Amino acid sequence: MEVKLKVNEVEVTLGVNIISYMDDYENINQMDTVKKIMKLNNNYLLLKLAENWNTPKKALKSLVGHIDPDIKKAAKKTLDDC
């Protein structure tokens, strides 16, 4: 169980770093990367995507319809601020 938790922590940390610096990577397809992160269905990562103004608008529009109110609110705010 402890090993599984540590793996999840590493995945979340990597996911947050990718989300935070997505624009800095030269050879990255942002939308493909966002889709893969969204498929993880990790609410913490989805919230980070929703809060990031570099997240593609198409993904933000999708997150506005999310069931979690915090994700929905963050995506709407990010869209409004763009």
pLDDT at 1: 44
How far apart CA 78 and CA 52 sit, in angstroms, is: 7
pLDDT at 57 over 90: yes
pTM of the model: 0.82
Helix, strand, or coil (residue 26): coil
Task: Pick the more confident residue, 66 or 23.
Answer: 66
Residue range 18-49, pLDDT digits in tens = 888 888 877 888 889 899 889 888 999 999 99
Residue ranges covered by each domain of the chain: 2-81
Task: Pick the more confident residue, 40 or 55.
Answer: 55
Residue 72's pLDDT band (cuts 50, 70, 90) = very high
DSSP, residue by residue, 64-79: HT-SSHHHHHHHHHHH
